[in-house]
Amino acid sequence: MTINILFAAKYERWTTYEPHLRTALDAKGLSYSIGTDIAPPDVDYIVYAPNSDVQDFAPYTKCKAVLNLWAGVEAVVHNTTLTQPLARMVDHGLTQGMIDWVCGHTLRHHLGMDRHIHGQDGLWREGIVPPLAQDRTVCILGLGALGAACGDKLSYLGFDVRGWSRRQKHIEGITCYSGQDGLNAALSGAEIVILLLPDTPDTENLLNATTLALLAKGASIINPGRGPLIDDAALLQSLDAGQVGHATLDVFRIEPLPNDHPYWAHPNVTVTPHIASETRPKTASEIIAENIYRGEHGLDLLHLVDRNAGY
Ligand code: NAP
């Protein structure tokens, strides 16, 4: 029987994804039809981006699963018309991209690179030697697919890495914490904080005046997670007071970040336009094909979202 797969994302993504999806589905030996225009009652699987036109899943009566192209699911997880299993994206390319971005920005702050990049003015600035990585405390909030992978590489580089998650983890090279007491311990004295938590009611404003005050004075914040993780007013206040030395922010409550937002003008904020890590069509298509294969062969789907936890 032919499996009908609806590609429901922005139309311009289809031309990029189509060859990769076909290659990956062919490699799995599946008999399928895939496209952007399939009658809802005929659809077996939806390859999905939350910004697509499909917002009502009720007409997809025989759909077996919705396969999200994004790692974050906050824009779909509370959709009450979605009764089908929802899988999120965990893919090697996405993970590698996040490792690259996080390690790059961590090293920027660790080495104080800006001092020299912006200081090409004829002054010989000697005598400021950064500490070794082993003497730099990095805290990663969120030890899932991305946080754990970034922590592993930062630990390999020699950083003193702590991490925090909902459930207690045991990861080589990372001092792991969980729970409210664990959050305080993870943040206390941290010099670089990386946010890789999902956007849920429990994680909103996790970095606020109280938690920012726990950090080492002049700490750097790196947020490739989601905008609502940070209380923006508290962060701006901490930046102005020097409690936070710099914030590198990739994600925001409103995107694109409005051009009059104070983050743009702040000398100690770096704004990047939600580019920390994009889903990579080739590797993501392999995950999608694997999940459809699993669905067709009665196997458990990979990376299912816990609808109650919200991620
Ligand atoms: P994940 O595998 O689901 O990991 C999420 C981590 O957060 C887990 O360790 C989880 O704890 C922890 N967590 C969730 N709620 C918590 C809470 N209330 N208290 C403490 N810890 C909590 O997700 P991921 O694939 O690593 O992705 C993380 C986030 O990165 C995504 O949700 C998305 O928002 C963001 N992202 C951004 C970009 C970008 O380009 N900027 C790209 C991809 C992803 P447990 O381990 O105990 O479950």
**Closest residue by Cα to residue 18 from 5, 28, 29, 30:** 5
Of the residues 196, 205, 206, 251, which should be mutated to test ligand 1's pocket, given the most ligand atoms within 8 Å of the CB? 196
User: Would the pLDDT of 125 be above 90?
Assistant: no
pLDDT-derived band at 127, boundaries 50, 70, 90: confident
CA distance 43 to 282: 23
Q: Residue 250's pLDDT band (boundaries 50, 70, 90)?
A: very high
135 with 11, same domain: the answer is: no
- C-alpha dist (Å) from residue 255 to 17, 184, 198, 261, 301: 24, 30, 16, 11, 31
Same domain for 39 and 171, yes or no, is no
Question: Does the residue 302 lie in any domain?
Answer: no
Pick from 211, 277, 228, 271: nearest CA to 246 = 271
Q: How many CB atoms lie within 10 A of CB 205?
A: 14
Percent of the chain at pLDDT exceeding 90: 98
Same-domain status, 196 and 185:
yes
Task: Round to whole Å and give the CA distance between 305 and 301.
Answer: 10
Clarify whether 274 is annotated catalytic. yes
Q: Do residue 86 and residue 97 come from a single domain? A: no
Instruction: Let me know whether 35 and 123 are in one domain.
Output: no
The first and second tokens of residue 45, run together, are 């699987």
Give 131's DSSP letter. Answer: P
Distances (CA, A) of 253 to 230, 250, 287, 288: 9, 11, 29, 29
Distance CA(51)–CA(42), nearest Å, equals 22
How far is 267 from 292, CA to CA, in rounded Å? 48
Residue 281: cis peptide before it, omega within 30 degrees of 0: no
For the Cβ of 197 lying below 6 angstroms from any atom of ligand 1, the answer is yes
pLDDT digits (tens, 9 = 90+) for 67-123: 999 999 999 999 999 999 999 999 999 999 999 999 999 999 999 999 999 989 999
pLDDT, tens digit (0-9, with 9 covering 90-100), for 19-66: 999 999 999 999 999 999 999 999 999 999 999 999 999 999 999 999
Ligand 1 site, residue 227, Cβ cutoff 6 A: no
CA distance 74 to 274: 15
| Mean pLDDT (whole number) for 263-267 | 98
Task: Decide: 171 and 151 in contact? Cβ < 8 Å.
Answer: yes
Could you tell me if 183 and 246 lie in one domain?
yes
**Judgement on whether residues 78 and 125 belong to the same structural domain of the protein:** no
User: Does 152 lie in the same domain as 251?
Assistant: yes
Gap between the Cα atoms of 102 and 11, Å rounded: 30
% of the chain beyond a pLDDT of 70: 100
Q: What was the pLDDT predicted at 126?
A: 87
Instruction: Indicate whether 307 belongs to any domain.
Output: no
For ligand 1, atom 33, the nearest C-alpha belongs to 72
* Domain assignment present for 309: no
253 is catalytic: no
Domain region containing 150: 92-271
Phi/psi at 112 (nearest 5 deg)?
65, 40
Helices (H) and strands (E) in the chain, counts: 9, 12
Do residue 101 and residue 241 come from a single domain? yes
Does ligand 1 come within 6 angstroms of the Cβ of 311?
Answer: yes
Task: Say if residue 171 is in the same domain as residue 144.
Answer: yes
One domain, residues 46 and 191: no
pLDDT at 128 over 90: no
Out of 101, 197, 230, mutate this one to test ligand 1's pocket (max ligand atoms within 8 Å of CB): namely 197
Same domain flag for 206 and 216: yes
Overall average pLDDT of the 203-225 stretch: 98
Q: What is the CATH number for 46?
A: 3.40.50.720
Q: Give the three-class secondary structure for 176.
A: strand
Closest atom of ligand 1 to CA, residue 183: 20
Active-site residue identified among 274, 294, 303, 307: 274
Q: Is the CB of 145 inside a 6 Å radius of any atom of ligand 1?
A: yes
Average pLDDT of every residue of the chain: 97
Residue 10 lies in a domain: yes
Residue whose CA lies nearest to ligand 1 atom number 1? 144
Residue 252 domain-assigned (yes or no): yes
Average pLDDT over residues 157-161: 98
Radius of gyration of the chain (CA): 21
Position 308 in a domain: no
- Ligand 1 atom at minimal distance to the Cα of residue 197: 7
The answer to whether residue 301 is domain-embedded is no
| 182 within a domain of the structure (yes/no) | yes
Count of domains observed in the chain = 2
